């Protein structure tokens, strides 16, 4: 039987070690070694080396596990366990010297999140959770905000940066949110958006066209901190469904989903007519 709690402690240490490597490289980052995967979709040698280090160690910790990785270091998936890895979530921030980026590692057991670790590199905060065991930051238990309603909350989101066909609709959604809460923030790291909801710093977060490696670890953090996690339709397809909505309580969650619904229905209608 796999000891998930023991794995957590080893993964926490691993993220700190790789985070230290990333922080060292940020002080001497060579922009000339930057690569473009697509429009505004960049990858650096730091991303690739960080992922290589993570995969090498995780293979030792759980040899039978498969991998879902952002940079494709290893992509073979297994039947029971799969690691979901973002070696440097917030690459654009990293490239520009903005100190908001993280290492994110999740473990899926038969598509159920059982372990999540997000290491906030520049703040040296390591958020971690095991299914059924609560959420923690640097070993101290954390919980979601007690704000009762959306109007009392600060909400995070992400902006489209390479697929702009839905930009008009998404801007309408953001405009609606801006009028319905204390404010809307865009950090540039989905993993940290989610970790900060778990820690009570944000009351909610939503994003469209997001990847599993961006949200898997953070989604478990929010759940274990007492929060709500769904897709835009209120369902459970938030790891692989390319959309996620999280909040601190059911009331805020429903308010957020209600604001998103017109945009989402419009998108689905457009897709059906395409």
Query: Can you tell me the mean pLDDT for 196-218?
Result: 97
Same domain, 104 and 164: no
Question: Is the same domain home to 134 and 168?
Answer: no
What is the chain's percent helix, strand, coil content, to nearest 5? 40, 25, 35
Q: What is the mean pLDDT of the chain?
A: 92
Give every CB contact of residue 146 below 8 A, 6+ residues apart in sequence: 200, 248
Q: Residues within the annotated binding site?
A: 70, 86, 88-89, 214
Asked if 97 and 179 sit in the same domain, the reply is no
What is the phi-psi region of residue 128: left when phi exceeds 0, alpha when psi lies from -120 to 50, beta otherwise? beta
- Pick 162 or 253 by higher pLDDT: 253
Count of the separate structural domains present in the chain: 2
Furthest-apart CA pair in the chain: how many Å? Answer: 50
Same domain, 113 and 156: no
> Do both 155 and 137 map to the same domain?
no
Chain centroid, CA 194 distance in Å: 6
Which of 3-17, 72-86, 260-274 is predicted with the least confidence, judged by mean pLDDT? 260-274
pLDDT class of 162 with cuts at 50, 70, 90:
low
Per-residue confidence (pLDDT) for residue 268, from 0 to 100: 60
Strands of the sheet with 154-157, listed across from one edge: 183-185, 154-157, 204-208, 243-247, 228-230
- 223 with 159, same domain: the answer is yes
Residues 6+ apart with CB under 8 A from 183: 154, 155
CB 21 within 8 A of CB 50: yes
For residue range 104-141, list pLDDT tens digits in order: 999 999 999 999 999 999 999 999 999 999 999 999 99
Look at residue 39 and tell me whether its pLDDT is greater than 50: no
* ∠ Cα 60 49 108 (to 5°): 45
Beta partners for 231? Answer: none
Binding residues for Mg(2+): 70, 86, 88-89, 214
Q: Please say which residue of 142, 167, 199 terminates a domain.
A: 142
pTM beyond cutoff 0.85: yes
Percent of the chain with pLDDT over 70: 91
User: Which of 142, 159, 178 is a domain's end point?
Assistant: 142
Residue 273 has pLDDT above 50, yes or no: no
Average pLDDT over residues 235-263: 96
**What CA–CA distances, in Å, run from 12 to 72, 80, 117, 262, 269?**
22, 22, 7, 40, 43
Task: Point out the domain boundary residue: 142, 164, 191.
Answer: 142
42 DSSP 8-state letter: E
Determine the pLDDT at residue 163: 65
Which CATH number is 164's domain given? 3.40.190.80
Residue 1 confidence (pLDDT) = 72
pLDDT value at residue 40: 41
Judgement on whether residues 160 and 136 belong to the same structural domain of the protein: no
Distance CA 135, CA 52 (A): 27
Q: Which residue has the higher pLDDT, 223 or 263?
A: 223
**Domain identity same for 157 and 103:** no
Task: List pLDDT tens digits, range 48-78.
Answer: 999 999 999 999 999 999 999 998 899 999 9
So what's the pLDDT on residue 274?
41
77 and 189: one domain?
no
- Same domain assignment for residues 135 and 162: no
In this predicted structure, what is the pLDDT of residue 168?
A: 82
Q: State whether 171 and 259 are in the same domain.
A: yes
The structure tokens 């702009």 sit at 164
Q: Tell me the C-alpha distance between 30 and 246, whole Å.
A: 36
Structural domain of 49: 4-142
Co-location of 129 and 194 in the same domain: no
Strand partners of residue 68: 84
Residue 169 has pLDDT above 50, yes or no: yes
pLDDT, position 221: 99
Q: What is the mean pLDDT of residues 222-251?
A: 97
**CATH number for 134:** 3.30.540.10
At residue 37, the pLDDT reads: 55
CB 101, CB 91: distance < 8 Å: yes
Average pLDDT in the 184-204 region? 98
The H or E element spanning position 114 is: strand 112-120
């Amino acid at each position: 039987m796999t000891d998930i709690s023991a794995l957590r402690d080893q993964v926490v240490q691993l993220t700190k070690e790789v985070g230290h490597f990333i922080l060292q490289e940020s002080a001497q980052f060579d922009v000339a070694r930057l690569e473009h995967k697509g429009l505004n979709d960049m990858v650096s040698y730091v991303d690739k080396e960080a992922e290589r280090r993570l995969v090498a160690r995780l293979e030792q910790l759980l040899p039978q596990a498969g991998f879902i990785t952002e940079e494709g270091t290893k992509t073979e998936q297994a039947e029971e366990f799969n690691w979901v890895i973002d070696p440097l979530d917030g690459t654009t921030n990293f490239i520009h010297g903005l100190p908001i980026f993280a290492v994110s590692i999740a473990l899926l057991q038969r598509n159920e999140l059982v372990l999540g670790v997000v290491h906030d590199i520049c703040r040296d905060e390591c958020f971690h959770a095991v299914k059924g065991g609560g959420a923690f930051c640097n070993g101290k238990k954390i919980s979601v905000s007690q704000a009762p309603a959306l109007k009392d909350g600060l909400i995070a989101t992400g902006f489209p940066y390479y697929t702009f066909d839905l930009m008009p609709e998404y801007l309408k959604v953001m405009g609606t949110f801006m009028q319905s809460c204390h404010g809307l923030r865009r950090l540039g790291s989905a993993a940290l958006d989610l970790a900060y909801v778990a820690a009570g710093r944000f009351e909610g977060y939503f994003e469209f066209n997001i990847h599993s490696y961006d949200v898997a670890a953070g989604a478990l953090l929010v759940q274990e901190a007492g929060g709500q996690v769904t897709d835009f339709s209120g369902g459970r397809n938030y790891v692989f469904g390319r959309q996620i909505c999280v909040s601190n309580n059911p009331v805020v969650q429903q308010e957020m989903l209600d604001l998103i619904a017109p945009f989402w229905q419009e998108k689905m209608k457009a897709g059906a007519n395409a």
